[in-house]
Every structure is written in structure tokens, then in C-alpha cells.
């Protein structure tokens, strides 16, 4: 938490990077009047008040931060929404002469104690025959690219006008055989440092914790499979091409009893038929990075299945226990439920 002082009043407020599903509390001490709080971001604006009790006024603004991303699912079928936003907070009251304000970056996600915000090194396996993106926390640095272990080449010189946040980049895998590396930072050297795992410092950008990022992409040449997209707990889009084991179809009746004039019987059932489809999929011999990425799928409230021509449909990944045995290569299985569909009715 950060602190500001205005005369005898002390304001404690969130860090430079916050996650909207964590608690984000503003505390004002040594105040006697009602504080008006204004939150702005993503083109939206919310206003609330905090009444003091024994000289302390407090407000958790997490709910308002979540509302900034309310249209997140609107782009489920055709595109992807912003999963970070610049947010400004202003406080006003008679005792706060001239008011007070601050800005920070808010991410649609959450962190737990000892979580590492994957800002320095990411590794993933992406299919060459499907379009995907890589999500990174980016602050406008230079971007370098290397192919199959070759000499890095600068592909973007950087921009100081970009606001920090999570950005989605479309990787170029066309000329790669084994791997592609993207390095977001001031040098072409691979960076592997991570944020301190102490809870407070996970959210704070301090000296020696620059936001340089290295993303290593392993190439998957498969053309067929179950291609999924989801947002993990830390606000990153993830993609993976799974293998299909089998498909389970379950039908159910749904209808009302009606009388029919041409029938000598009563309680004729007018039937609706609904179908539930479950895909049993798996990843065979996933490495540790892919295993960790796939387990984040089970905690994601939003996941989509690729259909065709850039179209995605929302799906539900059934909850299950996943045990990481620590092996270099492991299988992982999952059940994916498609939206219920009405087949026919009479």
C-alpha cells in the first residue's frame, strides 16, 4: 500500500499495479467529514462516499474495479477484450483542500500470497496452424525477436506514449521450425528475474524489478485438435491445442402435458429434446510450463472453444483435482462441456 499526507490527513491507497478481485482499500485517517470517492477507467465513472468513524474513513473499491471490465464476455465469439485499464481515483471533502488524486494500472484477475506475477519469463506451446496471441505486461519497451535460437532482431523501437498494462501481441511463427523468442525490454538479452514473492512487493515496481519480459514459444505443427482460449487468474490470455479422446452425448426430455382433440388418451407429452455434449480431451506428455498453463484453465471463469473462421463459443471446463507429480513430462486430462442445445420439439 502507498501513503500520502495532506496536512494532518493520511491517505493509504493501492499500489501501482492492482488486481480487481483482490481487496483494494482506501483508508483516510484524521478526517471528520464525509469523503467523496470518484473512480474512472475504461470509459466508465463511479462515485461513492466513505463516512468516518472515530476519525477513520475506509472504502473497498474492488467492486467498482470489477465493473470496469463488465463487457468482458461481449467479445467472446469474435475477439478479445481489454483485461487491464488505467484507473484514476479522486477524493474530495471540505477537509481535503484542493482534493486528492492518483492513478494506477488495474488488471482483471487476482493474486494470492506468494503468487508470482509472470512478468519476466513465460514459456508456452502454440500451434503454428492457428492464430493466437501472447499476453504480457508491457510498458512500451523495445521488442526483439529470435527464431530457432538465432541472433535476436529488433522489430519495434519502443514508445514512451504507451500506458503500462497487459497487451496482446500476435506472434509470427511462420518462419520457425522449433521455437520463437520475443524479448520485451531495453536489451536483447533473455531476462529471467521475477517479482519478489512477498505479497506486498508482488504489486510494487521498485528498483531492480524492471518490467522486462521474455516469452519463449515452442512450435506445435499439429493441425487437428481441440483449440481452447481462456483468461487465467493473472489476466493473461492463454491458448492450447488439446487432443480429443472421445465425445459424450447426453439427451434429455423437456416438455409439457397437453390435451389433443384427435386422441382418446389424456396427458399427451409434448416433448422438447435437449442435447448436452462433453468432449474428453487431453494433453500428452506436457512439459512443466504447459502443465502449469493448463491447470490455470480449471480456475478460469471464461474459456472458449475455436469453431472456425475466427469464431469462438464459450465452454465450461469441468472442475477436477490435478496433481503435479513434478515429472518433466506429464499427461493432463479434462472434460469440456459445450453449451446445451435444443435439438427438436413437438
Nearest to 194 by CA among 177, 214, 218, 172: 214
Euclidean distance between CA atoms 294 and 122, whole angstroms: 14
Position of cell 472458449?
304
Edge-to-edge strands, sheet with 96-107: 17-19, 96-107, 84-93, 35-41, 44-50
Window from 109-123, 182-196, 263-277, 307-321 with minimum mean pLDDT = 182-196
Q: Residue 126: pLDDT above 60?
A: yes
pLDDT computed for residue 163 by the predictor: 83
Q: How confident is the model at residue 81 (pLDDT cuts 50, 70, 90)?
A: low
Q: Residue 70: pLDDT above 50?
A: yes
Euclidean distance between CA atoms 86 and 50, whole angstroms: 23
Between CA 36 and CA 123, with CA 14 as vertex, the angle to 5 degrees is 140
Find out whether 53 and 241 touch, Cβ atoms under 8 Å: no
Residues of the chain within CATH 2.30.110 domain(s) are 224-346
Euclidean distance between CA atoms 50 and 56, whole angstroms: 9
Q: Residue 104: pLDDT above 80?
A: yes
In DSSP terms, which residues pair with 337 in a beta bridge? 278, 316
Euclidean distance between CA atoms 310 and 306, whole angstroms: 7
Q: For residue 336, how many other CB atoms are within 10 A of its CB?
A: 21
Q: Residue 181: pLDDT above 90?
A: yes
Domain 224-346 has CATH 2.30.110: yes
Count of CA atoms in the C-beta half-sphere (13 A) of 25: 8
- Three-state secondary-structure class, residue 195: coil
- Three-state secondary-structure class, residue 5: strand
The pTM for the full model equals 0.82
**What percent of the chain has pLDDT above 90?**
50
CATH superfamily of 2-107: Immunoglobulins (2.60.40.10)
Residues of the chain within CATH 2.60.40.10 domain(s) are 2-107
Q: What are the φ/ψ torsions at residue 336 (nearest 5 degrees)?
A: -115, 120
Edge-to-edge strands, sheet with 9-13: 2-6, 9-13, 25-29, 56-60
Amino acid at each position: 500500500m502507498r501513503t500520502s499526507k495532506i496536512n494532518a490527513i493520511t491517505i493509504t491507497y493501492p499500489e501501482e499495479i492492482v488486481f480487481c478481485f483482490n481487496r483494494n482499500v482506501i483508508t483516510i485517517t484524521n478526517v471528520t467529514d464525509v469523503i467523496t470517492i470518484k473512480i474512472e477507467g475504461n470509459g466508465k465513472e463511479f462515485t461513492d462516499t466513505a463516512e468516518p468513524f472515530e476519525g477513520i474513513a475506509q472504502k473497498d473499491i474492488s467492486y467498482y474495479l470489477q465493473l470496469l471490465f463488465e463487457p468482458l464476455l461481449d467479445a467472446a465469439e469474435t475477439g478479445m477484450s481489454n483485461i487491464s485499464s488505467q484507473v484514476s481515483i479522486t477524493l474530495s471533502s471540505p477537509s481535503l483542500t484542493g482534493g486528492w488524486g492518483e492513478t494506477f494500472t488495474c488488471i482483471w484477475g487476482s493474486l494470492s500470497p506468494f503468487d508470482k506475477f509472470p512478468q519476466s519469463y513465460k514459456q508456452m506451446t502454440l500451434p503454428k496452424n492457428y492464430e493466437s496471441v501472447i499476453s504480457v505486461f508491457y510498458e512500451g519497451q523495445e521488442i526483439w525477436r529470435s527464431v530457432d535460437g538465432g541472433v535476436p532482431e529488433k522489430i519495434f523501437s519502443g514508445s514512451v506514449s504507451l500506458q503500462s498494462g497487459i497487451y496482446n501481441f500476435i506472434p509470427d511463427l511462420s518462419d520457425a521450425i522449433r521455437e520463437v523468442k520475443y524479448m520485451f525490454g531495453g536489451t536483447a538479452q533473455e531476462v529471467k528475474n521475477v517479482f519478489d514473492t512477498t505479497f506486498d512487493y508482488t504489486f510494487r515496481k521498485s528498483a531492480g524489478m524492471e518490467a522486462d519480459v521474455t516469452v519463449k514459444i515452442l512450435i506445435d505443427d499439429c493441425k487437428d485438435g481441440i483449440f481452447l482460449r481462456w483468461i487465467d487468474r493473472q489476466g493473461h490470455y492463454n491458448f492450447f491445442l488439446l487432443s480429443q479422446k472421445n465425445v459424450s452425448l447426453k439427451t434429455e426430455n423437456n416438455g409439457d402435458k397437453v390435451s389433443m382433440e384427435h386422441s382418446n388418451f389424456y396427458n399427451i407429452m409434448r416433448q422438447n429434446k435437449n442435447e448436452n455434449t462433453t468432449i474428453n480431451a487431453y494433453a500428452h506428455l506436457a512439459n512443466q510450463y504447459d502443465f502449469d498453463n493448463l491447470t490455470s484453465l480449471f480456475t478460469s471463469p471464461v474459456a472458449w472453444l475455436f469453431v472456425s473462421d475466427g469464431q469462438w463459443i464459450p465452454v465450461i471446463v469441468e472442475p477436477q483435482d490435478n496433481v503435479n507429480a513434478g515429472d518433466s513430462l506429464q499427461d493432463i486430462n479434462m472434460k469440456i462441456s459445450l453449451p446445451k442445445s435444443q435439438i427438436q420439439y413437438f
